[in-house]
Amino acid sequence: MTLSGNIAFFKKMIFAPLIWLGAILMLAIKFIRKVHTVTTGSSDKPLMLLLHGFPELWGMWEHQLSHFKKGYNVAAIDMRGYGESSRPGDPRDYYIDRLVQDVVDVVHELGYKTCVLVGHDWGGKVAWTTAIMHPETIERLVVISAPHPTAYKDPDCFTFKQNLKSSYFQLFYAKGLAERVLLNSDVGLVDDSLKNPPKGPCTPGAISDSEIIRTKAALAQKPGEGTEPCPISAATAALNYYRGWVDNETWKPIPEIDEACAKMLEIPTLVLHGKEDGYFRSEMFNNLDKHVRHLVLPPALEDCSHWCPQDQPEAVDKHIGEFLATKFPAYQAPQIV
């Protein structure tokens, strides 16, 4: 072997392991993530897991955390990209299957195999999909202000008027522009959504000023700010939920998830929505019985906006409590491995 050959050989011997080690470390960094979780109640009780939506944080569930802690170990999380949870930079990390996996992992990390899953808005979308894809993990499902995933393709649900209400989706797909709109005027979109009519709560002050301030501060975090190094802003992370609803390369629904959502859901499910919801017309909750076998769908909550858990907390808690006490003799839970 020549001198140059020896040098090349030794370079491979020295650097190859370093390259592999670097690759392993990068994979570890990619998959390590933190899901900020707040719990109340006792760990020897069944688990109730609460998922917030856009643009809120775990604190939106303060009424439910207090009300259900006697009978449940109640856990509320900051969803991926929000608050004190990890904020990955790849838009594909916000695909619905990744968000679903976070839910399943939290259940297991808290020492449980199953939970009562409660989701609002985007948390409701994730809750629907979790129950559909992992029915063995969900004992009961409660969805608030979030239509079934198939509603967006059902002309009985997604009417022309609903299309107009949902037109902001197109803005949220526009990278850069959407972030500027969201953060404009001291994150004014949060005030428009959580405080001011016509889209805010029907009950003045239902969402406290302190919670709105926390929500604004969390959304205003820039790249590198937060509880850990974050490659993107919090605004981009929140908007990536909308951008990840479809495959970012084909701009079509993700086939595996689309097919799964078309199947009949067997898990007993309660669906709540407000009569004065500024984002979803009541038609978006049509035809649910075609997709959920054991469905409880009360009339739309009176004097209630999109923000049901805060706007009408007593009514929400009452409906959930009665639903959890209801027996469904025809329902057979999946086998837990």
CATH number at residue 39: 3.40.50.1820
Specify if 307 maps to a domain. yes
Check if the beta carbon of residue 302 is closer than 8 Å to that of residue 309.
no
Residue 98 φ then ψ, to 5°:
-70, -40
The mean pLDDT of 80-97, rounded to a whole number, is: 95
Asked if residue 210 belongs to a domain, the reply is yes
192 in a structural domain: yes
Going by C-alpha positions, the residue among 122, 194, 193, 153 that lies closest to residue 284 is 153
- Chain segment 170-218, per-residue pLDDT in tens: 999 999 999 999 999 999 999 999 998 899 999 999 999 999 999 999 9
pLDDT of amino acid 13: 43
Any domain includes 284: yes
Range among 13-17, 51-55, 90-94 rated most confident: 51-55
Q: In this structure, is residue 2 part of a structural domain?
A: no
- 14 within domain boundaries: no
Do 12 and 38 contact (CB within 8 A), yes or no?
no
Instruction: Single out the catalytic residue among 242, 291, 311, 319.
Output: 242
Catalytic residue among 148, 273, 291, 306: 306
Nearest-angstrom CA–CA distance, 196 and 103: 31
- Rounded to whole angstroms, the Cα distance separating 210 from 198 reads 21
**Is residue 121 among the annotated active site residues?**
yes
The count of C-alpha atoms lying within 13 angstroms of the C-alpha of 45, restricted to the half-sphere facing its C-beta, is 16
Annotated active-site residue 105? The verdict is no
Please check whether residue 24 lies inside any domain of the structure.
Answer: no
pLDDT of residue 337: 64
Q: 242 an active-site residue? A: yes
Residue ranges making up the domain that contains 198: 29-325
CA distance 182 to 235: 7
Give me the pLDDT at residue 63, please. 98
Q: Where are the beta strands (DSSP E) in the chain?
A: 37-40, 47-51, 73-77, 115-120, 138-144, 269-272, 295-296
9 part of a folded domain: no
Mean pLDDT of the chain: 90
- What's the domain count of the chain? 1
Report the distance separating Cα 115 and Cα 49, nearest Å: 7
Catalytic residue among 93, 102, 121, 277: 121
Q: Please tell me the distance from the alpha carbon of residue 257 to that of residue 276, in angstroms, as a whole number.
A: 30
